Amino acid sequence: MKNTNVLISGASVAGPALAYWLHRHGFTPTIVERAPALRDGGYAVDFRGRAHLSILRRMGILADVERAATGMGSMSYVNDAGKPLARMPADLFSGDIEILRGDLAGILFDATKEHTEYVFGDSITSLAEDEHGVSVTFERAAPRRFDLVIGADGLHSVTRRLAFGPEERFVRHLGVYCAIFTTANHLGLDHTGHVYRTADRLVSMYSARHNTEAKACFYFGSPVLGLDRKDVARQQAVLVEHFAGNGWQSDRLLHDMRFAPDFYFDSVGQVHMDGWSRGRVALVGDAAYCPSSLSGMGSGLALVGAYVLAGELAAAHGDHRVAFARYERELREYVAGCQKLGDGVAKIMMPSNRLLLAFLNRYYKLLPYLPGKNIPAIMGRRAAENITPRDYEDLLSGGRGR
């Protein structure tokens, strides 16, 4: 085995999952994370289908994920007075297992902290590759050498920018912005949520952590705004500009937003790249092929991507040229399906006029009684299950592999 010393940028989902499998295959992973500690809060993410659940099971964390699951039931579209207009099935939103992103990050950290070096509060500033490795400089820490560098640092990946070029070349804005934060469960929601839509705007609120709190979500249609990602005050002002007087719980949630400990705001986008590696640097998860937060596939895709990337590196005995090429071949079709689903959701999520909004509201109201009522959930499950990852441990132990 060669090239065993691997730096991973990002400690959300793809990074720790990759570190887990790299260690299991004999590599030495180090994770650098810009945040000073694990990020709590965030929206709920879900896993669905055989591929996702089998990898969680192989990692030995399926039981932990199930214990921390939200247990979310159906979601209801409501009118301005909060009266339910239509109910959407749980499987459409939460898959087989739904968990808060922050809770999932904690589980992955616990599964890797004994064998992975974590460096919090720092970020990569430059990459200089030569024949034998990569020299890496950081914002705070001293420069270090690694055999390989993997970017698992999300939609706005620093690693991608340093190794491949400006973000604008790879990130496609889907015409939607989102914000999410934790708030009090003042509606008394019991493992459920409410969604309120107006033209080009959507507000939702759903219970979390067994009804002890709630998550407030805002989505609105907009071209690229060019906001500073660190300017929270301006982000919140933009949200007020779009949703003040919008109806239902909008004003109450905008007031509570000012006191939220975990306010998050970002554009909704996808990442499209011709290649996910360049020399000794590769990308995984949202940094390489973000399907968008609307797809419901981001965390599952990150989990599968990390498993395949680590497995291919092990199968190639650390030969990154061979491994990175095989990694792309294994995942390309799967990624395309997940991204297609995310693109479709974005197009119908933000109706641009009241006529289309009225049509969609009526459609959702009738959906439980229509012959194709399960089609949206079935499409999501098909996209999630459209891969059968190889059994790399069987392969490495001399078996045929699947």
Here the CATH number for the domain that contains residue 355 is 3.50.50.60
Amino acid at residue number 70: T
Closest CA to 4 of 17, 19, 16, 137: 19
Closest CA to 98 of 51, 55, 17, 44: 44
Q: Is 255 helix (H, G, I), strand (E, B) or coil?
A: helix
Distance CA 240, CA 257 (A): 10
* CB neighbour class for 188 (10 Å; exposed up to 12, middle 13-18, buried from 19): exposed
Residue 190's Cα: distance from chain center in Å?
Answer: 25
What is the pLDDT, as a whole number, of residue 313? 98
Domain span at 229: 5-396
Distance CA 17, CA 24 (A): 11
Q: Is residue 401 part of a domain?
A: no
Q: Is residue 142 part of a domain?
A: yes
Distance CA 236, CA 217 (A): 13
pLDDT digits (tens, 9 = 90+) for 56-95: 999 999 999 999 999 888 889 899 999 998 887 776 667 7
Q: Is residue 78 part of a domain?
A: yes
What is the pLDDT, as a whole number, of residue 300? 94
What is the pLDDT, as a whole number, of residue 212? 94
Question: Percentage of residues in the chain with pLDDT exceeding 70?
Answer: 89
Q: Is residue 307 part of a domain?
A: yes
How many structural domains comprise the chain?
A: 1
* Model confidence at 316: pLDDT above 90: yes
Q: Is residue 70 part of a domain?
A: yes
Across the chain, mean pLDDT equals 90
Long-range CB pairs of 320-328, under 8 A, 24+ apart, other chains included: 320/3, 320/148, 320/277, 320/280, 320/282, 324/276, 324/277, 324/282, 325/277, 327/276, 327/277, 327/282, 328/275, 328/276, 328/277
Distance CA 160, CA 127 (A): 11
Could you please report the per-residue DSSP string of 105-163? HHHHHHHHTTTSEEEES--EEEEEEETTEEEEEESSSPPEEESEEEE---TT-HHHHHH
Q: Parallel, antiparallel, or unpaired for β 193-198 and 75-78?
A: parallel
Q: Parallel, antiparallel, or unpaired for β 117-120 and 28-33?
A: parallel
Distance CA 214, CA 185 (A): 5
H helices, E strands: number in the chain = 14, 18
Closest CA to 45 of 301, 221, 376: 301
Q: Parallel, antiparallel, or unpaired for β 193-198 and 124-130?
A: unpaired
pLDDT digits (tens, 9 = 90+) for 264-313: 999 999 999 999 999 999 999 999 999 998 877 899 999 999 999 999 99
Q: Is residue 402 part of a domain?
A: no
Contacts of 160 (CB under 8 A, 6+ apart): 151, 153, 167, 170, 271, 283, 287, 288
**Whether 42 contacts 100, CB under 8 Å:** yes
pLDDT digits (tens, 9 = 90+) for 111-166: 999 999 999 999 999 999 999 999 999 999 999 999 999 999 999 999 999 999 99
Amino acid at residue number 47: F
Give the number of other CB atoms < 10 A from CB of residue 25: 19
* Model confidence at 335: pLDDT above 80: yes
Distance CA 280, CA 324 (A): 9
Token pair in block for residue 354: 């009241």
What is the pLDDT, as a whole number, of residue 402? 38
Compute the 3-state secondary structure of the chain and give helix, strand, coil in percent, each to the nearest 5. Answer: 40, 25, 35
Report, as an integer, the average pLDDT of 182-192. Answer: 96
